[in-house]
Structure 1
Amino acid sequence: MSEEPRGGTRAPAPRTPAGRLIATALGLSLVLTLVVLAFTWPAMTSEAEDLPVAITGPADAVDAVAGRLAEARPGTIELIEVGDRDAAVESVETRETYGAIVLGDASAGEAPEVLTSSAANGATNQLMNALAQQLQTAVTEQATAATSERMTAAQSEAAETVRQTVEDAVAAALRAAAQGERPGATAAGAAPAAPEPVDVEIPRVKVTDVVPLSDDDPNGSGFTAALFPTLLGGMVGGIGISTAVRGAMRRVSAVILYSALGGGILTAILQGWFGVLQGDWWWTLGAMSLSIAAIAAPITGFVAIFGRAGIAAGPVLMMLIGNPISGATTPKEFLPWHWGEIGQWFPPGASGTLLRDLSYFPAADAANAWIALGAWVAGGIVLSLVGHARATAR
């Protein structure tokens, strides 16, 4: 038998080996690096590319605007030609485009109009307003050039009139002198009239917000902030249920109950109280509940398969991967490569798109968002069933 330590005290725990200490520090540093990159990379690398914008008007005017945009903003705008203003409005309301340019008949004095959608995204709304300013600059330059041409033509006409008047006066004076008359009497009153001033009214580009934000959330900051509780609520629910509830199928039941209650609470606060959501109450409740379940169910499913280690999959998958490419703060077209489209199939991106469509774009097709969220819920339940079957077999 081993000898008891003197004084009856336990021997001190062995110290952590230096290699494990260094590996732990390096591993945590790598995690910190991934966190920083996940939250700063989209903001630092976002750049508009092929942003869909509708355009309608005379063919020559459309070609002129397209050429000017290609020169000023190469690759930024993808112009989609539509039949008329009504079609342009419809494209914005169905989220096929982020805005539209309506070109009137310049010869008839019709001013251009730029259609924006502040509810779609703040960045795209700013871009459309910048396009309106550029269009106004082009219209002003065109009107100024036309005014200059008319002034030049008027001055040339006045100079020709003066020359002709002088020639006539000289000829009259010569005839009067030949006849012995006073030349001044004949030439009196022959002074030419001054040219009339050229007055050209410069058309003003009209900016119309087709889908404005709510009066309760005029800057859209409330809607953007409302998406985080959905993400956090799903993660907290999944982690908490995985820790507190035993049994894979009981966790599935807990996720369903928690999602329904959590969705009701968030809907009551964000739509009923703060007014940052504007959709139908029951549709919003369904979207909220499904969004929470789409995050919580996969976490409990991973735990059913991998044990407690599966809890870490939730923050990594949803927070570090899905959230940065969700397009919640910047449009999906601003993200490099195809990350914007990929992000729409993760719960953070799908829930943000779905809630925005329900609040402001009821005419838009939100089928993909519903399918994406439902697929994550179903996937989490399937993982729980597999984990339950394995545990039962043991």
Structure 2
Amino acid sequence: MSANLDAATTSQPSGNTPEAGPPGGRGLVAKLAAIVVGLTAAITLMLCAFGLPSANGGPHHVPLGVTGPESAVAAVQKQLPGDDWEVTAYDNSRDLVRAVEERDAAGGLAFDEDGLTVYTATAGGQMISNAISGLGTALAGQQHVSATVHDVVPFPKDDPRGTGLASAALPMIFGGMLPAIALLQFFPGHANLRTRLAGVVAFALAGGAAVTAVLQFGIGTLDGNYWVTSLGLGLGMAALAVPFLGLESLLGYAGFGVGSVVMMFLGNPLSGLTTGPYWLPDGWSTLGQLLPPGASGSLLRANAFYDGTGAGGPALVLGLWTLAGVALMYAADRRRNGKAGSKAGDTPAV
């Protein structure tokens, strides 16, 4: 009896014994601090990506065509700052208009005895078009002549300001993110890797056709070959969705998160979809055109308003992003198969 009492007594914790703190207390604080710092960095990056290009927006190395008397052309070349405008002389107005139509020039100025004719391409970028119009008006005022503005590549009459094009920015990005998220939820696991890839390709074709139909037949923003434009938009969606799947298959949801941050915080504001790439500072513009949102927007402009002129570069960028996503998925597949083979080799024979 005494022995049992002694055992029971010794099993009771002493009232003076300090309670143990929460497990991993320091690790918890470090993890919380890392999350706070990461979120702060993300919101700061987002502000810089959206704010700095807008604050520094303006003409940057805009190709501008000029034709007319040599004295007038020389005066324009001397007067305009080289960092803003890259002036090229043309023999006549016909060549200048052709240069605008073929995207060799964003706009142009034609001097003659009747005054000044300003050629713009609103569909190539509303902000740049306005800047060229303002430049022509200012030069005409200096020379005390009248200025006439002629829009060589306008938006369709149903949407003369191109508001539908601006509204397409986020749907184009979410058109790459949402199918990846949905397919990961409904077809999870490595075994469904190829199923997810097939689903993304199918969605890209359907989504590109649907968005193009709304923009072209519903809003009236686009004016081009419907099927070519829809295939271009589908390629843009695939260039977003396939890399998302590849990052997730190789790095998990952390990879998907990194890809989303890059495309939303950098790709979206630097795409130049509403302004045109010449409105952004050089470095920002180049980066934006190398990311899927910017390349997709440029491909959309080329197909919808310029009969495919200038579509090769953006299509190549989007194709490379799509192939990069497939390569990531292939790497994840090889790694998974390698681990499975290694485990099978380590299993002892019975």
Specify the TM-score bucket, using the shorter chain as the normaliser. 0.7 to 0.9
What amino acid maps onto 1:318 in structure 2? M
Q: 1:254 aligned to 2:199?
A: yes
Match of 2:323 in 1: 378
Measured after TM superposition, the shift of residue 324 of structure 1 is: 2.5
Aligned equivalents of 1:342, 1:35: Cα separation in 2 = 15
Measured after TM superposition, the shift of residue 21 of structure 1 is: 3.2
What amino acid maps onto 2:225 in structure 1? D
Aligned equivalents of 1:102, 1:20: Cα separation in 2 = 64
Match of 1:304 in 2: 249
Q: 1:129 aligned to 2:133?
A: yes
Measured after TM superposition, the shift of residue 368 of structure 1 is: 0.7
| Structure 1 gap ranges (5+) | 4-11, 141-202
Aligned equivalents of 2:54, 2:283: Cα separation in 1 = 16
Aligned equivalents of 2:253, 2:72: Cα separation in 1 = 64
Q: 1:120 aligned to 2:131?
A: no
Match of 1:177 in 2: none
| Structure 2 gap ranges (5+) | 1-10, 13-20, 341-350
* 1:317-357 alpha-carbon deviations (Å, 9 max, x no partner): 21122223222233323333433123212110111011111
1:329 to 274, 284, 287: 274
Measured after TM superposition, the shift of residue 14 of structure 1 is: 6.2
Counterpart secondary structure, 1:311: helix
Measured after TM superposition, the shift of residue 227 of structure 1 is: 2.6
Measured after TM superposition, the shift of residue 306 of structure 1 is: 1.2
Aligned equivalents of 2:22, 2:174: Cα separation in 1 = 38
Matches within 5 A, 1:271-310: 271-310=216-255
1:51 to 55, 62, 65: 62
2:142 to 138, 142, 148: 138
Partners of 1:325 and 1:339 within 8 A in 2 = yes
Counterpart secondary structure, 1:100: strand
1:88 to 96, 101, 104: 96
Measured after TM superposition, the shift of residue 25 of structure 1 is: 2.3
Aligned equivalents of 2:280, 2:178: Cα separation in 1 = 28
Larger radius of gyration: 1
Q: 1:338 aligned to 2:349?
A: no
What amino acid maps onto 2:95 in structure 1? A
Counterpart secondary structure, 2:66: strand
Measured after TM superposition, the shift of residue 238 of structure 1 is: 1.9
Q: 1:228 aligned to 2:239?
A: no
Measured after TM superposition, the shift of residue 244 of structure 1 is: 2.7
Aligned equivalents of 2:47, 2:159: Cα separation in 1 = 29
Partners of 2:209 and 2:227 within 8 A in 1 = no
Aligned equivalents of 1:95, 1:283: Cα separation in 2 = 19
Match of 1:353 in 2: 298
What amino acid maps onto 1:101 in structure 2? L
Measured after TM superposition, the shift of residue 362 of structure 1 is: 1.3
TM-score by length of 2: 0.84
Measured after TM superposition, the shift of residue 33 of structure 1 is: 1.3
Q: 1:99 aligned to 2:107?
A: yes
Aligned equivalents of 1:371, 1:23: Cα separation in 2 = 38
TM-score by length of 1: 0.75
Partners of 1:224 and 1:328 within 8 A in 2 = yes
* 1:52-77 alpha-carbon deviations (Å, 9 max, x no partner): 1001112122112323x33xx56322
Q: 1:392 aligned to 2:334?
A: no
Q: 1:64 aligned to 2:53?
A: no
Partners of 1:239 and 1:311 within 8 A in 2 = no
Identity of matched residues, %: 32
Task: Give the paired residue count.
Answer: 317
Match of 2:155 in 1: 213
Aligned equivalents of 1:136, 1:344: Cα separation in 2 = 34
Q: 1:42 aligned to 2:53?
A: yes
Aligned equivalents of 1:84, 1:376: Cα separation in 2 = 41
Aligned equivalents of 2:34, 2:230: Cα separation in 1 = 46
